[in-house]
Each structure stands twice: as structure tokens, then as C-alpha cells.
Amino acid sequence: WRAHRADPSHLIVIGDLVVDQNTYQARVGGERLELTYKEYELLRFLASHRGTVFTREALLSHVWGYDYYGGVRTVDVHVRRVRAKLGEPAGSYVETVRNVGYRFADARDLGEE
């Protein structure tokens, strides 16, 4: 990241996870993640709203758009894929809120305060 002189205002840095909003890339521990566009958008959206719980319907609206007609389980599938690609421990940053939806762990949960 330093070698490419990325503008830090466009980076979301959480632990060893770095989401670059200029290049649409994410890295964990310096290793680039091979994310689809929707996986990246889901990760970027959740990471930029840390600690906020979103229902599946809200995520469909924000990430897929208002005109998306697929089922809400699409969100579950994409969350599972994002977690798998993040690996451990970063995969645990995307938390399930039972009977509600998902959230990205906030600073207190990650011990960053």
C-alpha cells in the first residue's frame, strides 16, 4: 500500500484488513482478496458502517439496489463467501445478529478503542 502511495482518506483500515475505495481492492495481511464486485461492495458497505446492524432487506437495498428482485438469502450467500475469503480472524469481523441481519464489528468489539 505504501509503495503505491494510496490516499489514506480512501482506505478503510480495520486490523489487518484494508479496503481501498479508489481501486476496489481489499487486502488482509497484505494479501489481495479475489472478491466479486458485489462481495467487495458488501464488505465496503459494512466496514464503512461499523457497529450498525442492517437487515437483509436493507443490505439488498444499499448494495444490490432498489430494483433488485432476488431473495434476501442472496445476502446470506454473499456474507458466507466474504467471510471465507477474509479467513480468520478477519472473517469474524462480519457478525450475524440473530433474527435481524448483519453488522461489521465495531472498535470496542475488536479491542481498538
What tens digit of pLDDT does each residue of 48-104 get? 999 999 999 999 999 998 777 777 789 999 999 999 999 998 999 999 999 999 999
Rounded alpha-carbon distances, angstroms, from residue 110 to 8, 38, 71: 21, 25, 31
pLDDT at res. 4: 53
Burial 9-32 (b: 16+ CB within 10 A, else e): eeebebeebbbbbeeebbebeeee
* Confidence check: pLDDT of 8 > 90: no
pLDDT at res. 101: 96
pLDDT at res. 18: 95
